Amino acid sequence: MRYKYLLFDLDGTVSESAEGVRLSLESAINSLGVPAPDLDDYTLYIGPPLLDTFRELCGLDEEQSRRGALLYRDVYNEKGKYKNRAYDGMKRLLEDLREQGARTAICTSKFEPFAREIIEIIGLEGCFDAVCGSTLDGSRKDKKDLIPYAISALGGDLERDRERAVMLGDSFYDARGARLCGVDFIGVEYGYGAAEGMIAEGALHLAKTVGDLRELLLG
């Protein structure tokens, strides 16, 4: 295999999660008592860090955004995280990658404990060598910070191993993080992001299905 370290975004790449994310975001916005934006376009809020969503999509200040993030996490922990399922074929792909000697990690802007729970909920426990996500204080939320963290969690080092690492995701944010870290990026079109944004950030390949992704990684 070309890559040893494979870093997977979670929402829209490994997990179909839009229903739970939207439910939690709508509830948080209603609790804040602020005007609700149009949430029909998933590209606007599935992919960006949570604090950025409240700041940029909802137009809130820093204090309101942090309050919104806490409200969101409460609802997501109670209800939203259960509205997830793994994409068809994903478990088999992950198992086969590891059989070929690859080391795999979740690399997500989602709060790390939530990411760990979701992996169990969707039946992929044991399919990843590491699950890497953000912190409650909003640090380590961008992919440019998460990618080095995830490679390190897999036993590698960004400076030494960047040519052996690849980020896999469905959004501009995933692609930009990969570019800033100098690692390859493979985008998936079956998720919630837009192909144009991933291409603009230098996507090496785009996969329309999990089967296409399998072909790109395993041949």
For the question of residue 157 being annotated catalytic, the response is no
CATH number (3.90.320.10, 3.20.20.70, 1.10.150.240, 3.10.450.50) of 18-82 reads: 1.10.150.240
This prediction has a pTM of 0.88
134: left (phi over 0), alpha (psi -120 to 50) or beta: beta
87-116 tens-digit pLDDT: 999 999 999 999 999 999 999 998 899 899
Q: Whose structure tokens read 């209603």?
A: 30
List the one residue out of 179, 217, 219, 218 whose CA is nearest residue 198: 179
CB atoms within 10 A of CB 19: 13
Structurally, at CATH architecture level, domain 5-16+85-218 sits in 3-Layer(aba) Sandwich (3.40)
188-216 tens-digit pLDDT: 999 998 999 999 999 999 999 999 999 99
List the one residue out of 70, 127, 100, 55 whose CA is nearest residue 219: 100
Q: In the chain, what are the domain boundaries? A: 5-16+85-218, 18-82
Q: Which residue among the candidates 9, 170, 174, 184 is catalytic per the annotation?
A: 9
Q: Whose structure tokens read 């992996």?
A: 119
